[in-house]
Chain A
């Protein structure tokens, strides 16, 4: 009992901080999501309605944006795993003198401001951006490719921004695998591929899961990049919530959308961590 209580005491400052500056404000917006909003007049004081949530479930536009957001989260996460795993493997298992420079390369983009990075992508992906101009000068395409204000642009921008998180998680996970286990499997006649699929991959599953949850949550809640690369025609939940709050001033609908998004995110994280634990054999 004693060690557990000591652990709690150590976590107490953080818990208190989170309670005061995260849980409380979130709970304060909960009542707002049940208020009625009258355009031009504001939030009706003392009103109580489930209408905002009902509208979100009934409206095909909200459903479309919700699915789009979750799909984008899944796609960016998958892209980060596929691109990040080989990279992390190379960093963790490759020559030691390459480790620092490669880690620096991975981390370096994170030192740049998000807005600047998104602007960089705009310069590259716009109709008359670098990519399109190059392809047109080479005569490969006649009209500019649509690389912005759609899924393509957001996928590129968000994968680039969140890849470092995945790589850092995976490097730690791969480094933590005892090499003896792999060597033991090989002495028992396993092929390299079988060692990888039967031992390395499952043992790094928790790291992959942690990285995936991080990337997924960051993606579905990202605001700046979707606003800049998605624009008014390719909305995701975060931009929709921002618009409800800052544009139409309909805070009740905005906070209802926010709670739906949080609920979905928590449900998905819970389900995926259960699945992964089963795969990794720790459940």
Chain B
């Protein structure tokens, strides 16, 4: 009995909601902005299970309709994949008090998910080393940055999105990635590292090993708060938008409680709190960002110029692009 009890996750408790969340500062912010308010309002508790989008997708599939998580934060393309594999519970707008305050485009197909926040892939540079802020993706190729820049591997969102941005600039489409692959090859070769964890860049910026990188404004904002010398530039060709969503995996026994948690995430207070702490865009129409955050998070003009790639196309194409990247770019 004892062994059995130990092997079962704490999730077995009746009033505990298990939420799949990204790690690091993201989890801290989820705790501060969403978990605290949810626990106060419902009297239930929340256990966070940390992981990445693809780990959650793999876990939801492995448990095939009996997921150990009740709510997951996940990238929109993988949320679509989970929906295509029929492994999610649809959201019920009637159970969400704040559903009406959300921008209409935030809802996934068949309400299979709802976007929780808006971020982007952009250029981040060290203003002490870079005198004129970069304005274009191609500034990475500037001779002054030889051996002093970094881009992400395709396994991370920024690597994929930079590939797509280059591809679009070079005349490619989502069905023809050749121009992008060609253009990124020399850039990847010259990159100090093809980073696989977003925070790998923190130490590279810290040691002055890189002057510029393709990175996330939200990570840069949080790192700048901690004293890292970084600033954000949105390239004039337009950045690519990142949409982390919330989704309910199939098989949860706490569907009402899961909706209540999502309701907190979507509420103006929850959104405002998370945006301010994480330097990330909000999906609640009632939220106005502070000036400090608005300078870094995609808002106004930068938000209008963001390219949101069809997640359904992404989920079908990413495996093929990943294969080509492994063979042609990272080889």
- Say whether B331 contacts A231, CB under 8 Å: no
CB proximity to A under 8 Å, residues B192-243:
192-194, 196, 207, 209
- Say whether A40 contacts B316, CB under 8 Å: yes
Binary CB contact string for chain A from 216 to 260 against chain B (1 if under 8 A, 0 otherwise):
000000000000000111010000000101111111000000000
Known: A39-B316, A128-B209. 12 other contacts (CB 8 A): A39-B320, A40-B84, A41-B84, A61-B331, A127-B192, A231-B153, A232-B194, A232-B196, A233-B194, A235-B330, A246-B54, A250-B319
Q: Would you list the 9 A-B pairs with minimal beta carbon distance, nearest first?
A: A40-B316, A40-B315, A232-B153, A42-B85, A248-B319, A39-B319, A61-B327, A233-B330, A232-B194
Chain A's closest residue to B188 (CB) is A233
Chain B's closest residue to A235 (CB) is B326
| Residue B260 is within 8 A (CB to CB) of chain A in the complex | no
| Residue A149 is within 8 A (CB to CB) of chain B in the complex | yes
B322 / chain A contacts, CB cutoff of 8 Å: 243, 247-248
Q: A39 and B315 in contact (CB under 8 A), knowing A247-B322, A248-B322? A: yes
- Say whether A247 contacts B61, CB under 8 Å: no
Chain B's closest residue to A38 (CB) is B316
Chain A's closest residue to B59 (CB) is A246
| A32 smallest CB distance to B (angstroms) | 11
Q: Which residues of B contact A (CB under 8 A)?
A: 54-55, 57-58, 61, 80-81, 84-85, 153-155, 192-194, 196, 207, 209, 312, 315-320, 322-323, 326-327, 330-331
| B151 smallest CB distance to A (angstroms) | 11
Of A42, A127, A246, which one neighbours B81 at CB under 8 angstroms?
A42
Question: Complex formed: what's the CA distance from A248 to B57 in Å?
Answer: 10
Question: Complex formed: what's the CA distance from A214 to B294 in Å?
Answer: 56
Chain A's closest residue to B209 (CB) is A128
- Say whether B58 contacts A246, CB under 8 Å: yes
Q: A149 and B193 in contact (CB under 8 A), knowing A128-B209, A245-B58, A249-B81? A: yes
A249 / chain B contacts, CB cutoff of 8 Å: 54, 57-58, 61, 81, 319
A64, A231, A233, A247 — most chain B CB neighbours (10 Å): A247
A40 / chain B contacts, CB cutoff of 8 Å: 80-81, 84, 312, 315-317
Q: A231 and B193 in contact (CB under 8 A), knowing A243-B155, A249-B58? A: yes
A42 / chain B contacts, CB cutoff of 8 Å: 61, 81, 84-85
Question: Complex formed: what's the CA distance from A14 to B57 in Å?
Answer: 34
Chain B's closest residue to A39 (CB) is B319
The majority secondary structure among interface residues of chain B is: helix
- Residues of A within 8 Å of B, CB-based: how many? 21
A248 / chain B contacts, CB cutoff of 8 Å: 318-319, 322-323
B196 / chain A contacts, CB cutoff of 8 Å: 231-232
Q: List 22 A-B contacts (CB under 8 A).
A: A39-B316, A39-B318, A40-B81, A40-B312, A40-B316, A41-B81, A41-B84, A64-B331, A127-B192, A127-B209, A231-B193, A232-B194, A232-B330, A233-B194, A235-B326, A246-B55, A247-B54, A248-B322, A249-B54, A249-B81, A249-B319, A251-B61
CB proximity to B under 8 Å, residues A58-76:
61, 64
Of B85, B153, B192, B317, which one neighbours A41 at CB under 8 angstroms?
B85
- Say whether B54 contacts A61, CB under 8 Å: no
A128 / chain B contacts, CB cutoff of 8 Å: 207, 209
Chain A's closest residue to B191 (CB) is A233
A128, A232, A235, A245 — most chain B CB neighbours (10 Å): A232
B319 / chain A contacts, CB cutoff of 8 Å: 39, 248-250
A233 / chain B contacts, CB cutoff of 8 Å: 194, 330-331
Question: Complex formed: what's the CA distance from A251 to B319 in Å?
Answer: 12
Chain B's closest residue to A61 (CB) is B327
| B40 smallest CB distance to A (angstroms) | 35
Question: Complex formed: what's the CA distance from A128 to B204 in Å?
Answer: 9
A235 / chain B contacts, CB cutoff of 8 Å: 326, 330
B316 / chain A contacts, CB cutoff of 8 Å: 39-41
A231 / chain B contacts, CB cutoff of 8 Å: 153, 193-194, 196
Question: Complex formed: what's the CA distance from A231 to B331 in Å?
Answer: 11
Question: Complex formed: what's the CA distance from A250 to B318 in Å?
Answer: 11
Question: Complex formed: what's the CA distance from A64 to B326 in Å?
Answer: 12
Question: Complex formed: what's the CA distance from A155 to B85 in Å?
Answer: 41
| B317 smallest CB distance to A (angstroms) | 7
Chain A's closest residue to B324 (CB) is A61
Binary CB contact string for chain A from 130 to 162 against chain B (1 if under 8 A, 0 otherwise):
000000000000000000010000000000000
| A133 smallest CB distance to B (angstroms) | 10
| B9 smallest CB distance to A (angstroms) | 18
Question: Complex formed: what's the CA distance from A271 to B331 in Å?
Answer: 31
Question: Complex formed: what's the CA distance from A41 to B316 in Å?
Answer: 7
